[in-house]
Every structure is written in structure tokens, then in C-alpha cells.
Amino acid sequence: MTAPEAPTAPASLTRKPLDEEIDVYGLTHTGKVRTVNQDQFLLASLRKRMEVHLTSLPDVTRLKLEDDRLAFLAMIADGVGGSANGAVASRLALEQVTQYVTQSLRCYYGADAREASFIDVLQQAALQTHAEVLRHASLDPDLEGMATTLTVWIGVWPWVYVLQVGDSRYYVYRAGELLRITRDQTIAQELVDRGVLTRTDAFDSRWASVLSSAIGGPQTAPMVTRLQSDWRNVHLLCTDGLTKHVSDERIKQRLATMTSAKQVCEDLLQEALDGGGRDNITIIVGRTVRKD
């Protein structure tokens, strides 16, 4: 799936951001009701670098050692399955995807990130992760029924790829507008799509939290969206512990007045807690801030 691409950015915004121009933060919280946090998140840079182990050269610092950032990776997973099972599933999901993406950088050497084949690479990452979670569950009766959502954001300049399984969300905020890129993979959303329920009724129904697709669940249907990178975008990934209590309109207001990624993550978390905090809450916010 390829989303409508953003309008072409001004020439002054088209270079790849430097490491120091990336403002990103993530946090997770158990909430006010649950006793176990089944959410997981990860932020990472993927690099191709040369390390000198031995040389006769007197000054290695004179060498131009390559340490370029190939990609930036952000992931969240919201486990389901009761007790600690969901936490195991979400942990396995992030570990498996990270290994798949980083192992010999196979995603970047085996598939050109500018081509549609990279979408297939990410879908395979989800399917292999799904198989691994099922395998672990089959080996331990205590883990039977564990599953997790999975939302993966990969920035490979000049593109952004988003892998989605389940109902954790990815939003883009720019110029006063908040756009939800992902579609909730829930029974409620399926009923809305078929015209059986209105969006308001679906949100309040018992189907709102029943996943139609999950890593480790009865069915998994990974969706990959590609968007053009843009310096002006603010990116938000979150589990439904946030969106159960904080409306899209309120999220937009918070992002519009943010001073840093850390500040807005903490403020959104507090709003979710003040609204009831019935579920685990995980939030990642990232943006680029030009230094020159």
C-alpha cells in the first residue's frame, strides 16, 4: 500500500537530516489499572560503518571512517493474551523484527528502499515474526494464546515506511493538520467498513478492542504504507492506551504547541492518565529540527 505522497518540499528541506537534527523520544507506562505492562517500544539508528582494528598508520583520525545513518527505526507493540503472555509476545515481536532488519543489513542490500520490493521485505519481516511467536507459544502451554500488535516506522531517506499489524497507530502532524496513516485492524473497524456500525457506535462497542489481525493471533495481515519524507512532519506512534482517553483533536493541539519530543510525550501520557489510564500507554514522537 502506498499512501498519497506529500507535496514536494522546498529545496532547502530536501537533504537528509543530520543525527543532531533529530528530536525523538519514547516512553511507556503501565497505566492506573493494569498491574503488568505488556507494551514494548524501541528507537534505533541503523548504520553502515567501518571500524579499524589494526593499522600501521600513525593517525587513524585522519581517515574518513564511514558512519552514515542508513535508516532510523521506531517500533511499538501492544501485547494481548492475559498475565505476562502479552509482554512476552510484544518483546518477541520487537526482537524478531530488529534482527530481521539489521542482520547484515539485508533489508538495505537485498532490496532497494526506493522500490516496491522493500514493501515485500517488511511484509516478510511481519510474517516471520508471526511464525516465531506462534512457535514459542506451541512450546510452552503457559504462553498459549499470546499475541501482539506491531507498528514499525522506518525512515530510509527520502522515504518513510510504516508496517502495521493490529490497532496501534501512526499519525503525521504538519501545518496544523493531523493525519492518521494506519487503519485499526479490529472487528469494530471491519463493521464500520461494512456499514454495520457507525464510527461512534463502533468505538463504544465490545468489538473496539477485538483484533482482526495480530502477530501470533488467528490471522495476521501486515500492511505497509510508503510516504515521502518531509522535514516539516511530526511523527507519532502510540498504543491504544493513549487513544482510548485522548482524542485526535487533543493530540493535534498538543503537537501544535510542542517544544520537544520529550515534553509532548510526557504531556500526552499525563492526559491519558488523567482520563482514566485503563490500559498500558506507549508513545513515541519524532521530528526534525534544522540546525543551520
DSSP for residue 50: -
CA pair distance 128, 106, nearest whole angstrom? 14
| DSSP category for residue 55 | -
* pLDDT(98) > 50: yes
Give yes or no for residue 13 having a pLDDT over 80: no
CA distance to 51, 126, 195, per residue, from 63 (Å)? 11, 39, 63
How far is 186 from 52, CA to CA, in rounded Å?
50
Q: Is residue 247 part of a domain?
A: yes
Instruction: Tell me the pTM.
Output: 0.89
At residue 31, the 3 state secondary structure works out as: coil
Return d(Cα 68, Cα 240) in angstroms, integer.
34
The domain that holds 76 is classified in CATH as 3.60.40.10
State the DSSP code for 118: H
Domain count, the chain: 1
**Is 54 within a domain?**
no
Strand pairing of 177-180 and 281-288?
Answer: unpaired
Taking the C-alpha atoms of residue 286 and residue 94, their distance in angstroms, rounded to an integer, is 19
Gyration radius from the chain CA atoms:
20
167 in a structural domain: yes
How many angstroms separate the CA atoms of 272 and 122, rounded? 31
CA dist., res. 241 & res. 169, Å (int): 11
Is position 9 within any domain?
A: no
In a domain, 52, yes or no: no
Higher per-residue confidence, 199 vs 125 = 125
Question: Would you state the pLDDT for residue 71?
Answer: 84
Question: What does the alpha-carbon distance between residue 16 and residue 288 come to, in Å, rounded to a whole number?
Answer: 10
Residue 3 lies in a domain: no
SS3 98: helix
- Of 70-74, 85-89, 96-100, 196-200, the range with the lowest mean pLDDT is 196-200
What does the pLDDT read at residue 69? Answer: 81
Decide if 255 is inside a domain.
yes
Examine residue 62 and state whether it is found in any structural domain, yes or no. Answer: no
**pLDDT tens, 130-187?**
999 999 999 998 898 899 999 999 998 889 999 999 999 999 999 999 999 999 999 9
Count, residues in the chain: 292
Q: List the domain range (segments joined by +) for residue 29.
A: 20-46+67-288
